[in-house]
Amino acid sequence: MEKKKLIILLVGIFFLALILRIGFISTLDNTVDVWGDWWDELGWKLATGQGYWVNNPYFSDGPVYYSWRSPVFPLFLAGVYKLFGHSFLAAKICLAIVSSITCLLLFSLGRILLDNKSAILTSLLYVFYPPGIFWTGYLVPVTLEIFFALLTVYLCFLAEKKQDSLLFFISGFVLGFGVLTRSLFLVFIPAIFIWLTVICNVKFALKNTVYMLLSCFIVMTPWILRNYHIHKTILLTSTEGGIVCYIANNEKSLYQDSGYWDPTGRYDEPVIKAIKGLSEVETDRYFYRAAFNFIKNNPHVYFRLVADRFVRFWRISPHTFSGPGENYKSYHVKVAILTNLPIFILAGLGFIFSLRKWREYLLIYLLIIFLSIPVILFFKTVIRYREPLMPFLIIMAVFGIRCFIPEKNK
């Protein structure tokens, strides 16, 4: 395809994605934040110079929490609010722009892993991918998570292709912002090290993984130093991980429709009484210890919980009770089934057929494993948590489609 035609096509893809996302946003009530999960509050506080803190999430009379959420998404919102005022609509449109750029990133990655035609199809599939549209309508970090994950992977593939350590260093910067959006993204480092070791050699892998770690921690250092100044201990990301781990791993989790049991607000519960008077970081660590003690002492129950979380992570439709601000409607479930079922089937075929070129796709395999297994093993699980993986599954689905196309027509 001629360069000029390709540019016109990509511009068209971007604006088509943007129109679809803004169109969806326009159907929502953009005068309220139905999510209400501290993101907007923190963004507005940063924009208005009030600092970065929330009221104690466990006790109304407890000390405030300074590191309850990772900072990148609130900083993103703060930037929007600085420019446009406290406008939820402006924030959502900015998320729509990010998601539309993600469509172009998916094309760029598809070009490396597939070919031009397949890359265009991959990008177009994400243009119309319902969750990619849906999450731009809510003030949650999902859209940024997908963007940082995809940009990191694209830069790593490009760096390996060009044998360019500078690109690995730059990808580490992107990963740093990703980690400060979702702490789980730290698993990119071992995944990338294994990938480079297998396809190149240990020396190359070690050198460039160190470069990535260095630039990643350059990005994270201001947050880490700020946390140390406040808490007098090292805290890489946020203090919500402990409670998210505990609510998924306790004696009552197995009997909940949601798959987790949250003791927050239940002041007679022993676990809530135990954290009374603890600092923010001590509370986070207490919940981790309580969760792992439960796992150690109740292995049979734990394995049942893991099996349940595996199904929840990979189910093709959301539970109706878990929607943003209200329950998902029946049409949400139907759209999810019609979207995810063919993606999963085709991606499964793509994985099988891609094994003939497994070295080319090894990083994709590893990231799907590394980004899913920790959640399934240890944390509250909803299908929203797998969204950063879905662009990679769409790439594999397109690979599966290609296998049914005669070679002369590819």
| Integer Cα distance of 367 and 373 in angstroms | 10
Per residue in 227-271, pLDDT (tens digit) is 999 999 999 999 999 999 999 999 999 889 889 999 999 999 999
| Integer Cα distance of 113 and 119 in angstroms | 8
Residue type, 74: P
3-state helix, strand, coil in the chain (%, to 5): 75, 0, 25
For residue 397, give every residue at least 6 positions away whose Cβ sits within 8 Å of its Cβ, in sequence order, or none: 125, 342, 343, 346, 347, 350
Per-position pLDDT tens, the chain of length 410: 688 899 999 999 999 999 999 999 999 999 999 888 899 999 999 999 999 999 999 999 999 999 999 999 999 999 999 999 999 999 999 999 999 999 999 999 999 999 999 999 999 999 999 999 999 999 999 999 999 999 999 999 999 999 999 999 999 999 999 999 999 999 999 999 999 999 999 999 999 999 999 999 999 999 999 999 999 999 999 999 999 999 999 999 988 988 999 999 999 999 999 999 999 999 999 999 999 999 999 999 999 999 999 999 999 998 777 778 778 888 889 999 999 999 999 999 999 999 999 999 999 999 999 999 999 999 999 899 999 999 999 999 999 998 877 666 65
User: Six-digit token pair at 88?
Assistant: 């939820």
User: Six-digit token pair at 367?
Assistant: 């990231």
Residue 65, helix vs strand vs coil = strand
Q: How far is CA 404 from the centre of its chain?
A: 31
Closest CA relative to residue 301, chosen from 309, 383, 268, 285: 309
User: Six-digit token pair at 10?
Assistant: 């990509």
Per residue in 294-316, pLDDT (tens digit) is 999 999 999 999 999 999 999 99
| Integer Cα distance of 208 and 400 in angstroms | 32
Q: CA 395 → CA 11, 127, 203, distances in Å?
A: 20, 13, 30
For residue 296, give every residue at least 6 positions away whose Cβ sits within 8 Å of its Cβ, in sequence order, or none: none
Per residue in 31-69, pLDDT (tens digit) is 999 888 899 999 999 999 999 999 999 999 999 999 999
End-to-end CA distance of the chain: 13
CB contact burial 119-132 (16+ within 10 A = b; e otherwise): bbbbbbbbbebebb
Determine contact, residues 340/316, Cβ cutoff 8 Å. yes
Q: CA 116 → CA 6, 189, 354, 361, distances in Å?
A: 9, 29, 18, 17
